[in-house]
């Protein structure tokens, strides 16, 4: 037996008798014999203990006054007792009417027929106990053996299953090899037939050309019949230099055959640049995924697609966690993971509202889409750095929920991703995702949705190359595109760009990479943040400014909530007007107005202290 510890072994051996140790070493047949002998002894001893009497008895009677002997009680049980108690009764004064029963034994004394009855009973008990003990020991061993038997059966079943699987895989391998060989034979036969057909075509074409050459020679011989060799040479020279009356200018017959004569200012057969990049048009109306490794050109290509969307009339919202307004001029930029989460919540609410309005509108799908387009509600959401969203974005807490009871949905990003993929196109709220790969583990950790991705997303892969000198990744200008629901990847060429587009405005002339101008108000704000912390805005302004309506609402909110020090990062999520929340930069602009009006002072970046009257 395997013991768990020395203590376990000590306790087990202390409870084990030498007899059972000896018994446990016997084979099963001898154990059965020992148990049978013990049972035989027990049964025999019990039988011996059952019969006869174990002690002597004196039967007696009571003499009545009429000299009758009464030797039994009312239940016909004879009067009797052991000699010991008979003597005790005589010493205590036995009545004279009590006499021994002359009908029983010798003068009423009946000797014991089984004086060893207690020993036989003990022997029976000992035999049965020993048999039970040995049976219990056998049962314990059988219980332990059953465990090993069960393991052995499971092992044999597992071996049989593995052998069956191995045989099945071997059969499948043979079938697969046979299929490959058959396909190879078919391909070889088809290739041979193709070669034969090609040879026949070449032979036929060659025969036709030979026939044409022979006919031409015959015609030439007929035309030059009777000419001398010198006259033939002059005739041939005249034909080569002669111009056809159907050509113009200096164009010759040879020139009409040369394709270079038909193309001017470009390579022969060159494709116009607009034809190369026609694939970009497909990304405007489809949910799109742009992916590729570092340096593949994702940002530059994405911005060219955005520019096409702007030209097509789409409203652009750029969700860039680390973006700046300098690089996103002309579009609405939402930066910061918390702000992006708020927009994502608004996006899903807006999507549900549009579908509800569509159901109530009574319009067909085409009419509803046209109405959205005419109403200027075409919205394209650009999801930059989408790979990092699942690690940094959590579901925003609703306004009507208590902090301690709020538990964000761990699948918030996945739900939004599925909504944007599948429901956005009919409501003209098209997303464009920018990521490093197309696996569902990277895309919102939405495992198990690869088929949905293939069916719903237009995918563009950008391919990077390694610079042999710097060994750094750079854009190769090549890529591949796959339309939704199609498994074929088509090679594409990326636009040749010499700068990164950062300005998407249509209504004014500008230089694309020109830095933004800084007005006086912005300079004053920078001064307040960088150099004049803690001082009143009145020190740099001649008179307080009048608050705008939104700045006034912000000031009323701060005073209503009894805030003395207001940190934009702390109260931003709770401040809203008619259910609409605002970005940090927009709230900061209203905070500048409040400070400029002398109602508060800056005490830190994004933190003001309200003046107390």
pLDDT digits (tens, 9 = 90+) for 353-371: 999 999 998 889 899 999 9
Residues 6+ apart with CB under 8 A from 124: 41, 42, 43, 44, 45, 46, 47, 48, 49
Whether the predicted pLDDT of 141 surpasses 60: yes
Helix, strand or coil, per DSSP, at residue 241: helix
- pLDDT at site 397: 82
Closest CA to 433 of 315, 296, 318, 293: 318
CB 383 within 8 A of CB 311: no
- Split at pLDDT 50, 70, 90, the class of 209 is confident
- Per-residue pLDDT for 225 more than 50? yes
Please report the pLDDT score of residue 305 as a whole number: 92
Give the model's confidence band at 585: pLDDT under 50 very low, under 70 low, under 90 confident, else very high.
Answer: confident
| Cβ 604 vs Cβ 533: under 8 Å | yes
Please report the pLDDT score of residue 104 as a whole number. 83
Of 291, 284, 282, which is closest to residue 307 (Cα–Cα)?
A: 284
- Least confident residue range of 90-99, 270-279, 463-472: 270-279
What's the average model confidence in pLDDT over 462-467? Answer: 83
Of 418 and 579, the structure prediction assigns the larger pLDDT to 418
Please give the average per-residue pLDDT across 338-350, as a whole number.
92
Closest CA to 54 of 111, 119, 123, 117: 117
Pick the residue with more confidence: 6 or 491?
A: 491
Confidence bin at 395 (pLDDT 50/70/90): confident
- Both structure tokens of 210: 């030979």
Per-residue model confidence (pLDDT) at position 353: 93
Q: Which of 105-119, 163-177, 545-559 has the highest mean pLDDT?
A: 163-177
- Mean pLDDT score of the chain: 78
Q: What is the pLDDT of residue 275?
A: 63
Strand, helix or coil at 491? strand
Using the predicted structure, report yes or no on whether residue 324 has a pLDDT greater than 80. Answer: yes
Range 68-97 average pLDDT: 87
Residue 294 pLDDT grade (very low, low, confident, very high; cuts 50, 70, 90): confident
% of the chain surpassing 90 pLDDT: 13
Query: Which pTM does this prediction carry?
Result: 0.42
Q: Are 356 and 304 in contact (CB under 8 A)?
A: no
Mean pLDDT of 73-88: 88
Percent of residues, the chain, with pLDDT higher than 70:
79
Residue 460 has pLDDT above 90, yes or no: yes
Cα distance between residue 506 and residue 457, in whole Å: 28
pLDDT at residue 430 tops 90: yes
What is the mean predicted confidence (pLDDT) over 280-309?
Answer: 88
Please, are residues 113 and 53 in contact by the beta-carbon 8 Å criterion? Answer: yes
The tokens describing 543, both together, are: 């008179």
Look at residue 252 and tell me whether its pLDDT is greater than 60. Answer: no
Question: What does the pLDDT average to over 489-510?
Answer: 80
User: What contacts 24+ positions apart, CB below 8 Å, involve 516-521?
Assistant: 516/325, 516/326, 516/329, 521/592
Alpha carbons 287 and 300: distance in angstroms, whole number: 19
């Amino acid at each position: 037996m395997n013991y768990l510890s020395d203590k376990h072994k000590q306790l087990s051996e202390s409870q084990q008798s030498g007899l059972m140790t000896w018994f446990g070493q016997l084979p099963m047949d001898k154990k059965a014999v020992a148990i049978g002998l013990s049972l035989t002894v027990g049964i025999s001893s019990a039988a011996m203990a059952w019969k006869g009497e174990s002690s002597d008895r004196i039967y007696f009677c009571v003499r009545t006054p009429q000299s009758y002997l009464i030797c039994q009680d009312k239940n016909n049980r004879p009067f009797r007792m052991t000699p010991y108690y008979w003597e005790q009764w005589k010493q205590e004064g036995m009545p004279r009417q009590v006499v021994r029963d002359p009908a029983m034994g010798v003068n009423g004394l009946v000797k014991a027929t089984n004086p060893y009855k207690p020993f036989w009973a003990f022997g029976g008990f000992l035999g049965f106990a020993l048999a039970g003990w040995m049976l219990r020991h056998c049962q314990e061993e059988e219980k332990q053996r059953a465990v090993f038997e069960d393991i052995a059966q499971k092992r044999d079943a597992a071996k049989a299953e593995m052998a069956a699987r191995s045989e099945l895989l071997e059969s499948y391998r043979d079938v697969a090899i046979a299929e490959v060989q058959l396909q190879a034979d078919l391909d070889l036969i088809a290739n041979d037939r193709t070669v034969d057909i090609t040879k026949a075509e070449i032979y036929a074409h060659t025969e036709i050309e030979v026939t044409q050459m022979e006919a031409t020679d015959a015609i030439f011989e007929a035309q030059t019949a009777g000419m001398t060799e010198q006259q033939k040479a002059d005739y041939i020279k005249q034909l080569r230099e002669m111009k056809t009356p159907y050509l113009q200018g200096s164009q010759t017959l040879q020139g009409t055959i040369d394709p270079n004569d038909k193309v001017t200012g470009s390579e022969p057969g060159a494709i116009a640049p607009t034809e190369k990049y026609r694939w970009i048009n497909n990304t405007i109306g489809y949910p799109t995924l742009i992916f590729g490794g570092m340096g593949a050109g994702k940002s530059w290509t994405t911005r060219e697609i955005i520019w096409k969307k702007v030209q097509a009339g789409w409203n652009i919202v750029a969700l860039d966690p680390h973006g700046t307004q300098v690089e996103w001029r002309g579009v609405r930029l939402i930066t910061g993971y918390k702000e992006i989460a708020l927009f994502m919540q608004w996006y899903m609410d807006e999507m549900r509202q549009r579908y509800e309005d569509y159901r109530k509108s009574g319009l067909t799908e085409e009419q509803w889409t046209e109405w959205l387009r005419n109403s200027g509600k075409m919205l394209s959401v650009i999801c930059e750095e989408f790979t990092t969203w699942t690690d940094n974005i959590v579901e925003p807490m609703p306004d009507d929920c208590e902090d301690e009871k709020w538990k964000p949905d761990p699948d918030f990003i996945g739900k939004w991703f599925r909504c944007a993929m599948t429901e956005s196109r009919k409501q003209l709220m098209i997303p464009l995702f920018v990521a490093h790969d197309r696996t569902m583990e990277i895309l919102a950790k939405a495992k198990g949705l690869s088929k949905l991705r293939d069916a719903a997303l237009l995918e563009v892969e950008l391919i990077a190359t390694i610079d042999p000198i710097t060994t750094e990744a750079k854009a190769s200008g090549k890529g591949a595109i796959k339309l939704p629901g199609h498994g074929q990847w088509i090679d594409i060429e990326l636009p040749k760009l010499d700068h990164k587009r950062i300005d998407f405005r249509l209504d004014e002339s500008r230089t694309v990479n020109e830095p933004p101008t800084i007005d006086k108000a912005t300079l004053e704000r920078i001064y307040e943040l960088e150099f004049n912390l803690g001082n009143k805005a009145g020190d740099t302004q001649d008179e307080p400014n009048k608050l705008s309506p939104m700045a006034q609402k912000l000031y009323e909110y701060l005073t209503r909530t009894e805030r003395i020090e207001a940190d934009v990062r702390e109260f931003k999520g709770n401040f809203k007007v008619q259910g609409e929340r605002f970005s940090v930069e927009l709230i900061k602009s209203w905070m500048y107005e409040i400070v400029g009006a002398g109602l508060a002072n800056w005490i830190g970046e994004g933190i003001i202290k309200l003046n107390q009257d």
